[in-house]
Amino acid sequence: MGKLGLLFPGQGAQSIGMGLDFPNHEALFNTAQQATGLDILSAITTGERLNETLYTQLSVFLTSILALEIVKELKPTYQGLTGFSLGEYSGLYASNVLTLHDAIKLIHERSQLMQAETLKTQGFMAAVLGLSASDVDATLAKVTTGKVVCANYNSPIQTVISGEEQAFVEAEQLLKAAGAKRVIKLAVSGAFHSPLMKPAGESLLNYLSQMTLQNPAVPVYLNTTAQPLSLDTLKSEMSKQVYSSVRFQQTIEQMALDGFTHFLEIGPGQVLGPLVKKINPELETFSFGKYSELDNLKGWLLTHGFIQ
């Protein structure tokens, strides 16, 4: 039997109605509303404001936690986990680094800081398809009209770039000249995981300084390092994560080197499982984001020996 890792999705995985088929969803959403004042249930049910960072981050986190609680009832054996950007907070909760209350309050603070920064700067994000990450990095170094960086290393042929709005046209032209098949501008409010978000990350560190974090029950691989977290540096890395690249490809490659053979994506969207297969087709994946998928989840875990 191989090793099982858990994956948690980030911002962008949201959809209207997500999580509403899980038992006890109203109680969890009410808990979040009492802590933050945000009506998450209304946002998910109607779709109004769901794509605003302030609502998106908590909505995705809470939906992931609803799915996680069902997974935990099956008592699977797993040896590590990671999350994509916001999803890292789901991982920190799942590994007992953060309590539920602290996670909700921290995500609320993070989303407020990030949303505020998008109002100050004109930024963009775009997906680059068909070009290696190293070629994307080398090409972006040639952009002269503004700062643009690799925000998300998703797979060997998919990278997301992020930066100043005025630099998009030049970046797009250079990337296509270098061999990119497509450069697709994303419908996001700002340049996340770029230097434009550094003030938000620094403010988040001030908030984190007041919090108590616990040692993880299982290793949590971080976006910034692609390595298991060290509690001594965790707050610093959580701050840097806001304005640094999400090294998802490197994380999955490191986890594979560490013996992980199977990955269970927990939460909405079913985005990360397919990315894992693009990174390494030999890795086995399953995505669980709807209560109706429970029987299939049980079968997958039983087949691969992760539950009795």
**Looking at the annotation, which residues are catalytic?**
85, 193
**155 bridge partner residues:** 158
How far, in Å, CA of 302 to CA of 296, rounded? 10
Q: Is 212 exposed, middle or buried (0-12, 13-18, 19+ CB in 10 A)?
A: exposed
126-152 burial string, b = 16+ CB within 10 Å, else e? bbbeebebebbeebbeebeebbbbbbb
Strands (E), the chain: 3-8, 80-83, 123-129, 148-155, 158-164, 182-185, 220-221, 260-266, 284-288
Q: What is the residue type of 130?
A: G
Contact partners, residue 96, CB within 8 Å, separation at least 6: 214, 216, 217
Say which DSSP state 266 is in: E
Q: Are 296 and 254 in contact (CB under 8 A)?
A: no
Token pair 């980030």 in the structure block, residue: 10
Query: Strand, helix or coil at 185?
Result: strand
